[in-house]
Amino acid sequence: MSRKTSTLAGLAGAATVAATLTALVFPTSGAGAGSGCTAWGTLPPRVVLGPNGATVRTTLQGTAGCRGVTADSGATALLQAPRRSDDVPMRWSRFGDSDQAVYYPTLDRPGTYRLVNGRTQTYDSQYVRIPSAWRSTSTVVKYRGRFAGVGRDASGVSATLQSYGAHGWTAQANDLVWLQRRGSNGSWQTVASAHTSSSGHVRIDHRLSSGAAYRLVGATTSTTWAPFCGLSTAGV
């Protein structure tokens, strides 16, 4: 055996011993390492902040590699708000469990809310914690919008556009509003539009056909979801 071959054999033997010692001292989870565990909390695509607040529910989900054998203690995460003082810690007792947070327009602000810093607690058949990765999820929170004081006649429709925020219902100034008519195929088509005044009032001049279906649609803004309002044309 050459000196080079002997040296390599010795190094290989040492590496085998080291690997064996590492496996004995630091056991790893076959479930997490073999198939991979990625966990996340579900969130609705959007949340509407209205007079009664909004409840955001989240359910703990994960890939097959997250399935605990000896124990499933769920996970923890942080529902992070745009304003960090509004962050809410979340706790699931097991995979498939749900938790929730309640937000109010007088206290909380519109924006993107994210579930971050998740940590799972599931264990394999040897009582070793299954390593995991956390998939961040998010939802967009905005105020509720509405049309108030809606009036219509043969020549058009008028209304006041409002949103519900920290100070209750307030006017939405200089926002675009569309008047739409439902076609024979069921789709909505814009027939006229106008901007609201500084007081949120809008007047859209368009002859309304008796018996046809119309609706007012507001614009989605950075803080408010688009409101809809169906219009009756009976007697027009």
d(CA 51, CA 168): 7
* Whether 125 and 186 share a structural domain: no
Residue 67: per-residue pLDDT = 84
Q: Domain of 215: which CATH number?
A: 2.60.40.10
Q: According to the model, what pLDDT value does residue 25 have?
A: 33
Q: Which residues are bridge partners to 75 per DSSP? A: 92, 120
Which two tokens mark 72? 């499933």
Q: Which of 135, 159, 193 is the last residue of a domain?
A: 135
Same domain for 48 and 125, yes or no, is: yes
* Tally of domains in the chain: 2
Strand partners, 56: 101
pLDDT, one tens digit per residue, over 160-203 is: 999 999 899 999 999 999 999 999 999 999 999 999 999 999 99
pLDDT at 38 over 70: yes
Tell me the residue range of the domain where 123 lies.
28-135
**Exposure class string for 7-22: b at 16+ Cβ within 10 A, else e:** eeeeeeeeeeeeeeee
Number of Cβ atoms within 10 Å of the Cβ of 205: 11
Query: What SS3 class is residue 19?
Result: helix
pLDDT tens for residues 92-119? 999 999 999 999 999 999 999 999 999 9
Q: Domain boundary residue among 118, 135, 152?
A: 135
Residue 7 resides in a domain: no
Which among 111, 135, 159 is the end of a domain?
135
Give me the mean pLDDT over the 64-73 stretch: 88
